[in-house]
Structure 1
Amino acid sequence: MRKHILIILAIVVLVAGGVLWWVLQPEPAQLSLSAVEGDRPTISAPREQTIPTVKVADAIGWKNGATPVAAAGLKVAAFATGLDHPRWLYRLPNGDVLVAETNSPPRATKGVADVVMGYLMNKGGAGVASPNRITLLRDTNGDGVAETRTVLISGLNSPTGMALLDGQLYIADTDALVRVPFTPGQTKITAKPEKVIPLVGGGNHWARTLLAGPDGLLYVGVGSSSNIADNGLDAEKYRANILQVDPKAKNFRVFGARLRNPQGMAFEPKSGALWVAVNERDMLGSDIVPDYITRVGLGDNFGWPWYYWGGYPDARVKPENPALQEYSKRPDYAMGPHVAALGLTFAADAKLGSKFANGAFVGEHGSWNRVPVSGYKVAFVPFGATGFPVKGSKPVDVLTGFLNAKGEAQGRPVGVITDQAGALLVADDVGNTIWRVSAK
């Protein structure tokens, strides 16, 4: 009898183990990455995941002189090395470059989702403490390398966006927009930051991006605290939005709404319209939902969390919101599923040849919820004379090689800007380097 019981128990364990193995298998992509890119991406049926597909490249850094690989006709070299988790860049009028050395603030671990997120951050190279500072880089002799490096201001709270306006340097901390008096040429700020408006912190999507407009107003990108309002809409108040801030009155309004995680923002040079790079939702399969770049106007609503890509319903979100469906704006251009599109800048003053003369550069930090992985590169979206992406076009690789032959992450690109000479600067928060891409 005891022998029979042991045999039955062994069978149960094997069956349970087999079921668990099957449940934990990643859900691989069924479409090519290209099929889910461009102005008319394929939006396939959702494949909802109770246990998420997890695939993130192990972060190892750059070894033995390795560098990213630039597109044909371009070359890449280090502008600055030895930084501490550099994520965002800003160019001052005198050519100095500011870099936000920053990371997520400490997170509370309240459940399985928080444990999984902590694991992903550590594996992907984002588990380091935030340096909480902005460093100034100066190329004194114009050779494409920053010879001067100084800590401009420290003691911040997970800062990301930076903007100079009317003699003030505005900084987007994770929980507040602050400002300090500043004149280009300074290498040190000792003034205590003044709070302009509070921002809601906590949860996921901690980075707050910032853009100064020609109208004297500021635009702040504030991501959601969760994937699909998992903790209720009260936890998402003033989040998943682009806020328009009047810095003189110290107040704000929602400019563009229901964007899950709006990050890089820039004004398109021909039309003057505001564009943004957005991270879409997870756990609907490896093929959707595509991250995107899109034009945003006052009052635009993109549907999160109830809808994606202009009206596709997310059945996981309760209660439903059918009245919003017809008003959910369709994004303009898909960068591909789960690529983590973060950085965005236009080629207005870039000098990288005719192929990269009119369009947007996008820093793709890289996926965690797709098999095979996507992103981990800088891409270029060609624009036409109307101020929109060329119809039928696909993103063009500008800087690759962040993944080595083993699929390990030597680096991960984030913020992108152009420098005073027209080269492209790329913040690499895993490689702790600012890369400079220029014409050969």
Structure 2
Amino acid sequence: MSGTTSLLARSVALVGAAAVAWRRRTQGAAPPPAVGDVPQIPPGRPQGAVPTLKMPTARGWAHGQTPTAAPGLTVNAFATGLKHPRWIHVLPNGDVTVAEAMQVLRTPKSMFDHAMVATMQRAAAIGQSANRITLLRDADGDGVAETRETLLEGLSQPFGMVLIADTFYVGNTDGVVAFPYTTGATRIDAPGRPLASFKPGGHWTRSLLASPDGRRLYAGVGSLTNIAELGVEIEQGRACIYELDLETGRNRIFAEGLRNAVGLAWEPGSGVLWTVVNERDGLGDETPPDYLTSVREGGFYGWPYCYWGQTVDDRVQPQDAARVASAITPDYALGGHTASLGLCWMPRGTLPGFDEDGMVIGQHGSWNRSTLSGYRVVFVPFANGRPTGQPPRDILSGFLSPDERESYGRPVGVEIGPDKRSLLIADDVGDVIWRVTGSAA
């Protein structure tokens, strides 16, 4: 970054800090977290041309330092020295694949964008993407991977991964690609077969989830912009979840109006698809909350016209009254700007002290609020196929320094470990895959 660009970024950041201080004085005490099935969501207050911008500086973990596990649990490094690990997939033989990728450095488009890019560089959230998938193997079962091989390289910001029979599917930012794969292999050299094309850029992650019968894939494709400020036409085919039929090759939009649906998981009792969604920015610390929701076939969830049901976002013009009227209210709020990305189903008893079924969520952490949120791994308990309404419970925390000015790590993807008695977490700032187990494991 040039000296001129750096100075401009610092100037915009100072203006942003002043705006944050002004908002704190004029808007009173910070609102309580908007969480649960009936969240208290403050009225939206548009932040204007200089929205709140606050992120911790990436520091990384010192030797021997780890996140803080919940009481009764312990955490160890399953693998270290990776390059921005984002997503995890556990293969049937116990091997673990890790997608290493990140948002690509871009040319800023405005004064605020200069500050945004500089802040993201400082937070290790943007840069040169590794564009590879690494295979990890813990053959002796001691909870530490002793084998590390490059399974695939030269990809395009890979994220989601699924193995079905002898085919390994990868969600690149520009589409889904299928590779032939033999169980136990540590490298794929065969060319990939394109299955679907997506528009790259913006929210670049492309999560993948197989249907229980292995006949379909579901893929999350995020929006290009915050509130379709470049027009709704450019957002066609985005802010949705796709369904890909692996037998016919056809794909379709399964549900839409989901600004950035990332993690996908099945609730096994009901067979219903669930996702976590990152909502829009620029309306306040808790407005609107990110959320966990079941996904209805053909459903519309509001973006960009409205949020949390039919709460209209007046910044979006022109509005669409019919679309607003059809918007589905999400099931469970996760708090404002937590950047909830990772999602997996965790059956009761997987970890000691977690005696209910539920969803595990990796909260990458906020940038658009005056006080930080997220930066932790949480558990949302379920009963009868739905969240119970109880607050989320911490599984892993301690990703921030005590003054919250630095981040040791940021959790992203979550997955049940090969032994079914542990949890794996991708940490893209710490460059680590963490493993959480019972204290005696």
Contact 2:104/2:126 (<8 A) preserved: no
Shift of residue 55 of structure 1?
1.0
- Evaluate the alpha carbon distance shift between residue 389 and residue 176 of structure 1 in structure 2; reply closer, same or farther with a 3 A threshold: same
Shift of residue 233 of structure 1?
1.1
The aligned counterpart of 2:10 is none
The aligned counterpart of 2:5 is none
For 2:62, the aligned partner's letter is K
Contact 1:350/1:423 (<8 A) preserved: no
Task: Provide the C-alpha distance between the structure 2 equivalents of 1:288 and 1:226, rounded to a whole number of angstroms.
Answer: 17
For 1:174, the aligned partner's letter is T
Higher mean Cα deviation, 101-110 or 35-44? 101-110
Matched ranges for 1:37-436 at <5 A: 37-50=35-48, 51-112=50-111, 114-202=113-201, 204-215=202-213, 216-348=215-347, 351-384=350-383, 386-391=384-389, 393-407=390-404, 408-421=406-419, 422-436=421-435
Shift of residue 349 of structure 1?
7.6
Q: Give unpaired runs (5+ residues) of structure 1.
A: 1-17
Shift of residue 30 of structure 1?
5.6
Deviations 1:130-174 (A, max 9, x none): 000000000010000001000001000000000112421110000
For 1:179, the aligned partner's letter is A
For normalisation by structure 1, the TM-score amounts to 0.92
For 1:320, the aligned partner's letter is Q
What secondary structure sits across from 1:27 in the alignment?
A: helix
- Evaluate the alpha carbon distance shift between residue 217 and residue 152 of structure 1 in structure 2; reply closer, same or farther with a 3 A threshold: same
Deviations 1:65-124 (A, max 9, x none): 221000001000100000000000000000110000111234343334542431232122
Aligned residues: 420
Q: Give unpaired runs (5+ residues) of structure 2.
A: 1-13
What secondary structure sits across from 1:169 in the alignment?
A: strand
Deviations 1:357-393 (A, max 9, x none): 4111000000001121000000110111x110003x1
Identity %: 46
Shift of residue 439 of structure 1?
0.7
Deviations 1:193-224 (A, max 9, x none): 1111111112x211111101124110000000
Contact 2:348/2:357 (<8 A) preserved: no
Shift of residue 26 of structure 1?
6.2
Deviations 1:285-323 (A, max 9, x none): 112110011000201110100010011000000101111
Contact 1:26/1:52 (<8 A) preserved: no
Task: Provide the C-alpha distance between the structure 2 equivalents of 1:26 and 1:52, rounded to a whole number of angstroms.
Answer: 12
- Evaluate the alpha carbon distance shift between residue 52 and residue 168 of structure 1 in structure 2; reply closer, same or farther with a 3 A threshold: same
Higher mean Cα deviation, 393-402 or 240-249? 240-249
Task: Provide the C-alpha distance between the structure 2 equivalents of 1:185 and 1:178, rounded to a whole number of angstroms.
Answer: 20
Deviations 1:250-300 (A, max 9, x none): 221110111000000000122111000100000001121100110002011
For 1:207, the aligned partner's letter is T
The aligned counterpart of 1:13 is none
Task: Provide the C-alpha distance between the structure 1 equivalents of 2:68 and 2:353, rounded to a whole number of angstroms.
Answer: 19
For normalisation by structure 2, the TM-score amounts to 0.91
Task: Provide the C-alpha distance between the structure 2 equivalents of 1:94 and 1:32, rounded to a whole number of angstroms.
Answer: 48
What secondary structure sits across from 2:407 in the alignment?
A: coil
Say what the alpha-carbon RMSD is for the aligned residues: 1.9
Shift of residue 34 of structure 1?
5.1
Task: Provide the C-alpha distance between the structure 1 equivalents of 2:190 and 2:348, rounded to a whole number of angstroms.
Answer: 33
Contact 1:37/1:290 (<8 A) preserved: yes
What secondary structure sits across from 2:386 in the alignment?
A: coil
What secondary structure sits across from 2:119 in the alignment?
A: helix
What secondary structure sits across from 1:119 in the alignment?
A: helix
Shift of residue 24 of structure 1?
6.0
Task: Provide the C-alpha distance between the structure 2 equivalents of 1:189 and 1:153, rounded to a whole number of angstroms.
Answer: 6
What secondary structure sits across from 1:326 in the alignment?
A: helix
Shift of residue 47 of structure 1?
1.1
Shift of residue 64 of structure 1?
4.0
Task: Provide the C-alpha distance between the structure 1 equivalents of 2:351 and 2:15, rounded to a whole number of angstroms.
Answer: 53
Larger Rg: 1
Task: Provide the C-alpha distance between the structure 1 equivalents of 2:241 and 2:293, rounded to a whole number of angstroms.
Answer: 13
For 1:177, the aligned partner's letter is V
The aligned counterpart of 1:7 is none
What secondary structure sits across from 1:270 in the alignment?
A: coil
